[in-house]
C-alpha cells in the first residue's frame, strides 16, 4: 500500500522520502483543517449546552435549546426563516434564469451588454445594496414610496417579509444568472430543436423541454440560493429588525446584543441555523449526485440554437432594462443623491441649495473608515493568498496521491461551506473564551474566520484545475531528477496558474464584502469596511455611508476592469 502510494504521488526521487512527504503533508493539513473547522464547531456545540462561560467551566444544560425550540416565538422564527429563504431563492432564481435564458438562448441584440449588466450587481456588497433600497422603499421618504403616497395614498413598506425577500432576491439574482447561464450553455439543443420542429412556441419549449432537462441544476441552484439567503445577515439586520421580522441570523446577533449578552443562547440559535444549512447542502449534494440521468452534453460538437423572439424581442429588452434599472441604476443614483446632502430628505428643488461634498470629505478624513479600508485590503490579500496556497497543496494530495485518509482532507476543506458567517463568528468567540490565545478583536481572528469560510471556494477551484493537468508532466520532472517541492513549484503551480489566479481574485473580492463573520469579532483596530458601514448606519450617518458606498462601487468596478485587462483571458475565465 505504501509503495502504491508513493508511486502515485510522483515527483520524488527516494521512495522512502515520498511516503514521508505525502503523509507529512496529509497529517499537517488534517491537523490544520481540523483546527480551523472542527474545533470551532465543537466549541459551538459545547457552548450551546453549557451554562458556564467557557469550555473550561463546562456545566451541562439544555436551557438554551429549550428556549430556542419551545419558545412561543420559535415557530414564528422558523416560519420566517424558511419563508424568507425560500422566497428570496425563488425570486432570485426566476429573475436570474429568465435573464440567463434570454442572453444564452435567444437572439436578443447586444448580448454582451446585457451579460455585463446582469453581472454588475455581483460587485456591489450586500450591505450597500440593502441600504440603497432603504432609500428607495422607506415607507414615507423612499424615492419610490413618496410619489406613491402622494398620488395614490399608499406605500410599499420595505420593513416587511416581502420587502426582505425583494431586496435579498434582487441581490442574489446575478448568482442564479451565472449558474443558470452556464447550464443553458452546456445543454444539448437537439431536444429543443425537435420541439421547435413540432411547432412548439419558445415559451412551451422552455417550459416543457428546457427546464425539465435542467431539473437537477435547478434544484441545486435553488438550494444554494436558499442556504445563501438563510445565512445572510445584512437584510435581516437592517430591514428585518426594525420591522420586527426575525430570522435565525438576526436572532444570533440579538442574543449577543441584549443586556446582558447571552452567549449560550446565541450558540444554540447558531446550531439550529447550522443544522438547517447542513440539511440544505446535503439535499443539494443528493440533487446533483445522479445528474448523469439527465446528461445531454455529449462528445459530439454542438452549438445551442438561439430562439427567435420576434416581436417579443422588445419586450425582453424592456424587461432586461427594467432589471438593470432596479438592480443597478436606481440604487446607484439614490446613493449619489444621498451622498450630496447633509441630512437625508425626500428629493426636492431644495437639493440644489443643500448640495455639498461634505460627506466625501468626511469619509476621506475619517481615520476609522480609512483604517477599515486598509484592514479589508490586508485581510483580502492575506486570506486569498493563504487559501490558495493551502488548497493548492490539499488539491495535490487529493488528486495526485492515493494516500489513505485524503478523503478526510477533502471533507474538512468542504465543511465550512455549511457554516454561515455569523455562526463562524459565535463559534470563534467560544474557541477564544476557552483557548488562552489573545487574538479576539485583532485581525488574526478575522483572518482565521475568512480563511476557514473560503476554503471550499479555494479547494473547488484548485481541484478542478489540477484534474485537467495530466500527471505526465510532473512525472517527467521527477524522471529528470527534480524533488517533490521543485516539481510542485516549477511544474504544477505554473500549470495551475489560471485556476489559482481565478480562485485568488474571487476570494479577494468576497473578502472585501464580508460582514457576517466580522460583525461579532472586530474591535476599533480591526474594523473592516462592511462592519464600518454597519456601525455608521447605527449612528444614523446614512449620507456619509452613501458617499463611502459610491466610492466603493466605483473602486470595485475599476478594480475588476483592471484585473480583467491585466489578467486577460485567465481572469475572464475565472
Residues near other proteins (CB under 8 A)? 53-54, 73, 76-77, 138-141, 159, 241-242, 244, 246, 256-261, 263, 342-346, 366, 368, 374-375, 378-379, 381-382, 385, 429, 432-433, 436, 438, 440-444, 447, 520, 523-526, 535-542
Shortest Å, Cβ 323 to other proteins: 28
Shortest Å, Cβ 25 to other proteins: 19
Q: How is 108-177 classified by DSSP, letter by letter?
A: -SSHHHHHHHHHHHHHS-HHHHHHHHHHHH-TTT-TTHHHHHHHHS----SSSHHHHHHHHHHHHHHHHH
Closer by beta carbon to other proteins, 298 or else 539: 539
Q: How is 465-527 classified by DSSP, letter by letter?
A: HHHTS-THHHHHHHHTT--HHHHIIIIIHHHHHHHHHHHHHHHHHHHHH--TTTTTT--TTT-
Shortest Å, Cβ 361 to other proteins: 12
Residue 541 C-alpha from the chain's centroid: 27
Shortest Å, Cβ 459 to other proteins: 21
Closer by beta carbon to other proteins, 106 or else 385: 385
Q: How is 180-212 classified by DSSP, letter by letter?
A: HHHHHHHS-THHHHHHHHTT--HHHHIIIIIHH
Residue 97: asked if its preceding bond is cis (omega within 30°), the reply is: no
Shortest Å, Cβ 408 to other proteins: 28
Closer by beta carbon to other proteins, 10 or else 240: 240
Shortest Å, Cβ 362 to other proteins: 8
Shortest Å, Cβ 467 to other proteins: 26
Closer by beta carbon to other proteins, 20 or else 525: 525
Q: Are 388 and 503 in contact (CB under 8 A)?
A: yes
Q: How is 56-90 classified by DSSP, letter by letter?
A: GG--B--HHHHHHHHSTTHHHHHHHHHHHHHHHHH
Residue 109: asked if its preceding bond is cis (omega within 30°), the reply is: no
State the Cα angle at 126 between 159 and 560, rounded to 5°: 155
* Alpha helix stretches (DSSP H) within 356-366: 358-365
Residues paired with 307 in a beta bridge:
106
Phi, psi of 32 (to 5 degrees): -65, -45
Half-sphere exposure of 276 (CA within 13 A, CB side): 24
Largest separation between any pair of C-alpha atoms in the chain: 82
Q: For residue 338, what are the contacts with CB-CB under 8 A and spacing of at least 6?
A: 135, 344, 542, 543, 546
Closer by beta carbon to other proteins, 244 or else 470: 244
Shortest Å, Cβ 205 to other proteins: 48
Name the nearest CA neighbour of 400 among 2, 5, 1.
Answer: 5
- For the beta carbon of residue 194, count every other beta carbon within 10 angstroms: 12
Shortest Å, Cβ 439 to other proteins: 8
How many whole angstroms separate alpha carbon 103 and alpha carbon 176? 13
Shortest Å, Cβ 382 to other proteins: 5
Closer by beta carbon to other proteins, 150 or else 190: 150
Closer by beta carbon to other proteins, 118 or else 237: 237
Shortest Å, Cβ 242 to other proteins: 6
What the block records as the C-alpha cell of 418 is 455549511
Closer by beta carbon to other proteins, 323 or else 542: 542
Name the nearest CA neighbour of 40 among 272, 277, 270.
Answer: 270
Handedness of CA 463, 466, 467, 471 (dihedral sign): negative
Q: Are 27 and 393 in contact (CB under 8 A)?
A: no
Shortest Å, Cβ 245 to other proteins: 10
| Burial classification of residue 273, based on how many CB atoms lie within 10 Å of its CB (0-12 exposed, 13-18 middle, 19 or more buried) | buried
Closer by beta carbon to other proteins, 242 or else 405: 242
Shortest Å, Cβ 24 to other proteins: 21
How many whole angstroms separate alpha carbon 241 and alpha carbon 156? 17
Amino acid at each position: 500500500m505504501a509503495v502504491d502510494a508513493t508511486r502515485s504521488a510522483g515527483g520524488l526521487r527516494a521512495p522512502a522520502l515520498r511516503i514521508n512527504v505525502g503523509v507529512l503533508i496529509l497529517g499537517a493539513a488534517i491537523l490544520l483543517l481540523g483546527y480551523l473547522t472542527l474545533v470551532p464547531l465543537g466549541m459551538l456545540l459545547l457552548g450551546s449546552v453549557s451554562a458556564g462561560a467557557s469550555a473550561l467551566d463546562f456545566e451541562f444544560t439544555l436551557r438554551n435549546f429549550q428556549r430556542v425550540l419551545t419558545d412561543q416565538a420559535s415557530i414564528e422564527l422558523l416560519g420566517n426563516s424558511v419563508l424568507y429563504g425560500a422566497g428570496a431563492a425563488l425570486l432570485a432564481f426566476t429573475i436570474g434564469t429568465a435573464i440567463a435564458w434570454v442572453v444564452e438562448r435567444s437572439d436578443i441584440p447586444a448580448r454582451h451588454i446585457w451579460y455585463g449588466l446582469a453581472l454588475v450587481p455581483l460587485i456591489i456588497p450586500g450591505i450597500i445594496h440593502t441600504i440603497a433600497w432603504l432609500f428607495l422603499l422607506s415607507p414615507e421618504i423612499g424615492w419610490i414610496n413618496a410619489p406613491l403616497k402622494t398620488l395614490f395614498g399608499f406605500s410599499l413598506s420595505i420593513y416587511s417579509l416581502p420587502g426582505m425577500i425583494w431586496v435579498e432576491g434582487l441581490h442574489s439574482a446575478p448568482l442564479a444568472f451565472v449558474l443558470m447561464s452556464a447550464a443553458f450553455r452546456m445543454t444539448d439543443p437537439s431536444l429543443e430543436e425537435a420541439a421547435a420542429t413540432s411547432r412548439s412556441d419558445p415559451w412551451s419549449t422552455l417550459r416543457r423541454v428546457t427546464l425539465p432537462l435542467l431539473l437537477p441544476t435547478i434544484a441545486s441552484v435553488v438550494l444554494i440560493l436558499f442556504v445563501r439567503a438563510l445565512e445572510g445577515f445584512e437584510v435581516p439586520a437592517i430591514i428585518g429588525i426594525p420591522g420586527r421580522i426575525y430570522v435565525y441570523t438576526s436572532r444570533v446577533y440579538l442574543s449577543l446584543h441584549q443586556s446582558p449578552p447571552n452567549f449560550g443562547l446565541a450558540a444554540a440559535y447558531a446550531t439550529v441555523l447550522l443544522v438547517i444549512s447542513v440539511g440544505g447542502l446535503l439535499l443539494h449534494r443528493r440533487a446533483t449526485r445522479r445528474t448523469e440521468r439527465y446528461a445531454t452534453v455529449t462528445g459530439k460538437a454542438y452549438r445551442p440554437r438561439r430562439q427567435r423572439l420576434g416581436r417579443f424581442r422588445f419586450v425582453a429588452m424592456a424587461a432586461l432594462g427594467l432589471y438593470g434599472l432596479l438592480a443597478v441604476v436606481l440604487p446607484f443614483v439614490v446613493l449619489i443623491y444621498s451622498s450630496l446632502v447633509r441630512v437625508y430628505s425626500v428629493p426636492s428643488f431644495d437639493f440644489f441649495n443643500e448640495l455639498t461634498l461634505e460627506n466625501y470629505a468626511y469619509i476621506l478624513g475619517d481615520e476609522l473608515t480609512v483604517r477599515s479600508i486598509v484592514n479589508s485590503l490586508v485581510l483580502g490579500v492575506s486570506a486569498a493568498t493563504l487559501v490558495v496556497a493551502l488548497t493548492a497543496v490539499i488539491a495535490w494530495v487529493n488528486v495526485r496521491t492515493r494516500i489513505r485518509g485524503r478523503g478526510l482532507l477533502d471533507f474538512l476543506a468542504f465543511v465550512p461551506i455549511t457554516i454561515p458567517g455569523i455562526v463562524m463568528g459565535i463559534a470563534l468567540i467560544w474557541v477564544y473564551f476557552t483557548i488562552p490565545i489573545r487574538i479576539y478583536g485583532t485581525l488574526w481572528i478575522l483572518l482565521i474566520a475568512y480563511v476557514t469560510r473560503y476554503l471550499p471556494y479555494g479547494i473547488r477551484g484548485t481541484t478542478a484545475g489540477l484534474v485537467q493537468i495530466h500527471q505526465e508532466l510532473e512525472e517527467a520532472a521527477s524522471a529528470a531528477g527534480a524533488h517533490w517541492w521543485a516539481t510542485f513549484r516549477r511544474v504544477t503551480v505554473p500549470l495551475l496558474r489560471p485556476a489559482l489566479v481565478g480562485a485568488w481574485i474571487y476570494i479577494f473580492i468576497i473578502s472585501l464584502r464580508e460582514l457576517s463573520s466580522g460583525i461579532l469579532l472586530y474591535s476599533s483596530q480591526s474594523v473592516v469596511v462592511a462592519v464600518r458601514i454597519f456601525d455608521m448606519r447605527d449612528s444614523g450617518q446614512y449620507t456619509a455611508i452613501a458617499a463611502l458606498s459610491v466610492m466603493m462601487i466605483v473602486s470595485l468596478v475599476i478594480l475588476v476592469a483592471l484585473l480583467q485587462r491585466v489578467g486577460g483571458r485567465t481572469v475572464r475565465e475565472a
